[in-house]
Amino acid sequence: MIQISRSLSLVIISMLITACSHFQNREAIYLDSAKGWATQAQVREKLGAPKTVRQDEGGATVWVYEWREQQSGNRLTAPGMWCEQYLLTFDDKAVLQKWRQVSHFHGGELMRRNVFRGQSSPNYRQRAKAGL
């Protein structure tokens, strides 16, 4: 009986870890599905207007979206603000080719208006998505 409960516990823990590693927000799910076919108009309709639009070194159009979320502190985590930035790259036909997400946690320091100016801070977590 003890062996069965240990085995069951290990299976449940493994399932929870796997489920958490595949968790994505609705923006990431949409962008994963839209890569390779969605036009700028379709992305704008789904996500709204980008915060900024710029050109990369190769001449591709890059749209920048930014969302912020407050994190209340507890005994294990510090209070602060999560900033999520999505960088969407479109080809010359205005079709989404790739995207990536960059996250930054502000743990009490004064927060600049443009959060992602230089990405040398140790608080940055870069999560490159498939195709980038």
Q: How do residues 61-116 score in pLDDT, each as one tens digit? A: 999 999 888 878 777 777 788 888 999 999 999 999 999 999 888 776 655 555 55
Q: Is residue 103 part of a domain?
A: yes
Place of tokens 């294990």: 76
| Position 10 in a domain | no
The verdict on pTM exceeding 0.85 is no
Residue 104 in domain? yes
Take residue 116 and report the two structure tokens written for it: 């992602």
Residue 14, domain member (yes or no)? no
Q: Which domain holds residue 112?
A: 26-128
Does residue 115 sit within a domain?
yes
Residue 39, burial from CB neighbour count under 10 angstroms (0-12, 13-18, 19+): middle
Burial class (CB in 10 A: 0-12, 13-18, 19+), 42: middle
In the chain, how many domains are there? 1
Q: What's the pLDDT tens digit per position in 14-29? A: 665 554 445 678 888 9
